[in-house]
Amino acid sequence: MELFIVAAKIVVVLGVLLTGAALTTWAERKISAFIQNRVGPNRIGWAGIFQIVADMVKLVMKEDIVPKSANRFVHDLAPMISLTVAMSTFAVIPFGNTIEIAGQNIKLMVADVNVGVLYILAMTGMGVYGVTLAGWSSNNKYSLLGGLRSSAQLISYELSMGMSLIGVIMIAGSVRLDQIVLQQTEYVGGWLPAWNIFLQPVGFVTFLVSAFAETNRLPFDLPEAEPELVGGYHTEYSGMKFGMFMLSEYINMITASAVVTTLFLGGWHLPFAETWGLSPFTLALLQVGTFAAKVICMIFFFIMIRWTIPRFRYDQLMKLGWKWMLPLAIANVLVTGLVLLLTTN
C-alpha cells in the first residue's frame, strides 16, 4: 500500500510537471507575443495550445547530429543529466498539506526528506553538470564558452542563494520543507500571514535573483547568449537532445517557482481558509489549488522578466553576484540572527 501511494504520487507529479513544462513553453510564446503586440501561435488547437505537440513531433523526427570530433558518450549524457536533475528537484516540494483518502493520511509531497532545503540546493547545483559537459563535449568554442560561463555563474550565485536561505531556516528552525511551510501558516499580529516574503524581504529578493541565475533565464542567460555565442552550450545539439535541454529549462523554471512559493510565499497556505469551516478534504484540495495558483503567478513573473530586462554583461553579472548579492545575503543572516536573539530572550 505504502509503495502504491508513492508510485501514484510520482506518476501524478511527473505528469503534471511535464504537462506544465509544455504549457509553460506555450504560455511563454503567447505572453511574449502579447507584449510585442503580436498574436503568437494560433493554428493548432484553441489559441495554439497544441503547438507544443507539433514541436515535439518535429524534434523527435529530426536527425540527431553529433559533431565528428565530439565526445560521443558525454555528448549523449549531458542532456540526460540536465533533464534528470530538473525532474528530480521537484520531489521534495510539498504541494499541499496532508489529505485523507480512504482512511489513509497522505502527505502531499513525493519524498519526505528531512534535509529538504539542502536537497534542493544540491540538485540545482547538479544541473550545471549537464550544461558544462554539453559545452565541453561538443568540441566547439562557443559551446565551451557557454559551459564555462554557466559554471562561473553557478559559483557566483549558489553562495548567495544558500546564504539567503539561512534566514528562512533560522526562522523555521528546520530544514524540512513541510516544517518551513507550517511555520508560515501562522499570523503576525493576528492579520498578516507569517509568509517569509514579509519576514525576510531582503532574503526573498536575493533568493529570487539567484533563482533566475540558477535557471539560466534572462537577464542571466549568459550560457546561451545568442548574439555572442550562437546558441551557447546547446549549439551542437539537434533533435530531441536539444528538446531535452529545452524541456529541462522549463521544468527548472517551474521548480524554481515552486521553491520560491514554498520558502517565501507560504507554500500551500491560503490565508484564513482554515477559519471558513470547510471539511478537511475540501480544504486540502483548496490548498493544492492555492499552491498551483501561486506557482503559476511566479511563472508569469519569470516570463514577464524575460521579456522586460535585457541581458546583463558578464562582468556586471559577476559584480552583482559577488559585490551586491553575497554581502546583502550575509547582512540579512546577521540581522535575522540579532532580531531572533532579542525577541526570543
Half-sphere exposure of 318 (CA within 13 A, CB side): 6
The binding site for other proteins (CB under 8 A) comprises: 31, 33-39, 205, 304-305, 307-309
Between 307 and 314, whose beta carbon lies closer to other proteins?
Answer: 307
The DSSP secondary structure of 193-255, one letter per residue, reads: E--HHHH-HHHHHHHHHHHHHHTT-TTS-GGG-HHHHTTGGGTT--HHHHHHHHHHHHHHHHH
> How far apart are CB 307 and other proteins at their closest, in Å?
6
> How far apart are CB 248 and other proteins at their closest, in Å?
26
CB neighbourhood size of 63 (10 A): 6
**CB-based contact 273:283 (threshold 8 Å):** yes
Helical axes 2-35 vs 280-306, angle rounded to 10°: 40
Between 35 and 288, whose beta carbon lies closer to other proteins?
Answer: 35
> How far apart are CB 95 and other proteins at their closest, in Å?
27
Between 182 and 305, whose beta carbon lies closer to other proteins?
Answer: 305
Residue with cell string 521544468 = 251
Smallest CA-to-CA distance from 18 within 221, 244, 202 is with: 244
The DSSP secondary structure of 123-182, one letter per residue, reads: HHHHHHHHHHHHHHHTT-HHHHHHHHHHHHHHHHHHHHHHHHHHHHHHHHT-S-HHHHHH
> How far apart are CB 302 and other proteins at their closest, in Å?
12
Coil vs helix vs strand at 187:
strand
Coil vs helix vs strand at 104:
strand
Between 188 and 309, whose beta carbon lies closer to other proteins?
Answer: 309
In one-letter notation, the amino acid at residue 43 is R
**CB-based contact 100:84 (threshold 8 Å):** no
State how far the Cα of 80 lies from the Cα of 95, in Å rounded to an integer: 26
Between 177 and 317, whose beta carbon lies closer to other proteins?
Answer: 317
State how far the Cα of 114 lies from the Cα of 184, in Å rounded to an integer: 18
Between 164 and 185, whose beta carbon lies closer to other proteins?
Answer: 164
Instruction: Tell me phi and psi for residue 10, to 5 degrees.
Output: -60, -45
Between 78 and 299, whose beta carbon lies closer to other proteins?
Answer: 299
> How far apart are CB 40 and other proteins at their closest, in Å?
9
What would the grid cell of residue 306 be? 524575460
> How far apart are CB 305 and other proteins at their closest, in Å?
7
Between 24 and 206, whose beta carbon lies closer to other proteins?
Answer: 206
> How far apart are CB 220 and other proteins at their closest, in Å?
13
> How far apart are CB 158 and other proteins at their closest, in Å?
21
> How far apart are CB 48 and other proteins at their closest, in Å?
12
Between 12 and 39, whose beta carbon lies closer to other proteins?
Answer: 39
Residue with cell string 500551500 = 268
